[in-house]
Amino acid sequence: MATVTLPTEIQPRSPKGEFRNEPFTNFKDHETARQMKAALEHVASHLGHEYDLIIGGHRLRTEGKIKSVNPARPSQVVGVHQKAGAEHAEKAMQAALEAFESWSRTSVETRASLLLNAAEIIRKRKLEFCAWLTYEVGKNWVEADADVGETIDFLEFYAREALRLTKSETPIQLPGEHDQLMYIPLGVGAVIPPWNFPFAIMAGMTVASIVTGNTVILKPSSDSPTIAAKFIEVLEEAGLPGGVVNFCPGSGASFGNAVVEHPRTRFIAFTGSRDVGLEIHERAAKHRKGQIWIKRTILEMGGKDSTVVMADSDLDAAVDGVVAAAFGFSGQKCSACSRAIVDAPVYDVFVERVREKVATLVVGDPAVNSNMGPVINKAAMDSILKYIEIGKKEGRLVAGGKAVENRDGGFFIEPTVIADISPNAVIAQEEIFGPVLAIIKVNGFQEALGVANNTEYGLTGAIYTGSREALDIASRDYHVGNLYLNRKCTGAMVGAHPFGGFNMSGTDSKAGGPDYLLLFTQAKSVAEKLGSAPSRVGI
């Protein structure tokens, strides 16, 4: 049997106290703001570094490279990465398989301790990781802090959940038997995270895999590989054995497909677009020669999220919630509010107040903590601008509507609001993934609920109303995985809001919830007749 040497740094220990969400950073505090500026200066001095592939603990370089750039100033290279190809898929698989033999037999306490160690490292360097997020994907300070905080939450929460799973018991103990239910690891998994939460989602899927005893081939987004590389450095410092996580930036069409299709791949955890998720699901479903299991897919594939605003709502709160959810991180969240469905009696007032609120948003370099930074790349900007042109023909432009010229060539777009949109219009149905809000007029609650449910997605939704009856009906009939009552539809918190959606939004994985780790395990039932155990002999 292959052996993975466990570093002495991993000392099995229990988490301290019950799980608590990482507190948000107060950047209004002058000293904290000064420290954030210092972190940005520190990270700026480390931009452009070249990072290796890491397969089986060994560092490799390739002829092909991936350059990650700052979307606020694309001439600034954040990191240079090796480009794994199809030829590296087998090497990564063999390394992961070898590591699995020992890692899967490592105690859950030791595996959980790795996560707790990593959480503490990140907590101590929180602002530094915020700065990396600002440079690589254009997050302002608050959005970056939320991403880092969620990363810490996932590490702390999944460590505790893994320990809880070890205490699982069968509902019934038959007389004369000792009955057990054990959650055992699946095997080698492919983890394919997105660029928009390049720290939290990437880390969450990775550590959920490894704390349950699996090993991982990690293929980060080509738009955000540096954040993933920094996370691997944290895991190594925390005691990660070689081969447990294999770091392989690369093309989805070559390396990614090769890993998904490999007969020894046991599961694929993916977050991204609907089209890519469906392609992964299809490729994973096809049986390959030598494959002895049905591959499991854990998919989160985006949304077309709505906020319903009724005439009896707190309109100021509704306006604030819609604008925050629509334009936070330039609308580049699968949970972002892209549709406001507004009751006719307050429609005109709502549109005007949204226009006024949006006019106060500042678009600019996230390093100086502007309200809105850039979109991720030129292809995204071009796609969003095309949708805006479609929207101008489908409705009435209220605010924004064009790119923001800047001397650095950054990918900035004005926060755009288009009113008088039909529920079936293109911009009311297709995921835009940018700072574009469509406003739809309805007559009454039942029509609003029907419009809210009229897309192929079902990720997040919100409703503002003073009616208890409407809230109760929405809780039952508003068909989304994450529903928010009288609050915005973004900002899911680990533990409180297990996250995942219905329909084309994915497999409803419920990240950050008590069921999530079950997706990375298989349940084994063991029943032993009491009094029948043979004497122990050497094997």
> In whole angstroms, what is the distance from residue 21 CA to residue 429 CA?
34
Catalytic site residue 489?
A: no
- Give the number of other CB atoms < 10 A from CB of residue 174: 11
Bridge partners, residue 372, by sequence: 363
| DSSP state for residue 328 in the 8-state scheme | G
First vs last C-alpha separation in the chain: 14
Length of the chain: 539
Burial label for 48, CB within 10 Å (0-12, 13-18, 19+), is middle
Q: In the beta sheet, which residues pair with residue 26?
A: none
Q: Residue 213 corresponds to which tokens in the numbers above?
A: 């005893």
Q: What is the 3-state secondary structure (H, E, C) of 106-128?
A: CCHHHHHHHHHHHHHHHHHCHHH
Q: Is 362 exposed, middle or buried (0-12, 13-18, 19+ CB in 10 A)?
A: exposed
Q: State yes or no: is 300 an active-site residue.
A: yes
Please give the sequence-ordered ranges of beta strands (E in DSSP) within 121-187, or none if there are none.
177-185
Residues sharing a CB contact under 8 Å with residue 17, sequence separation 6 or more, in sequence order? none
Distance separating alpha carbons of residues 134 and 49, to the nearest angstrom:
16
Cα separation, 16 vs 385, in Å, equals 49
From 300, 394, 414, 431, the catalytic residue? 300
Report DSSP letters for 421-470, one per residue.
--TTSHHHHS---SSEEEEEEESSHHHHHHHHT-SSEESEEEEE-S-HHH
Options 98, 130, 248, 334, the catalytic residue: 334
Catalytic site positions: 300, 334
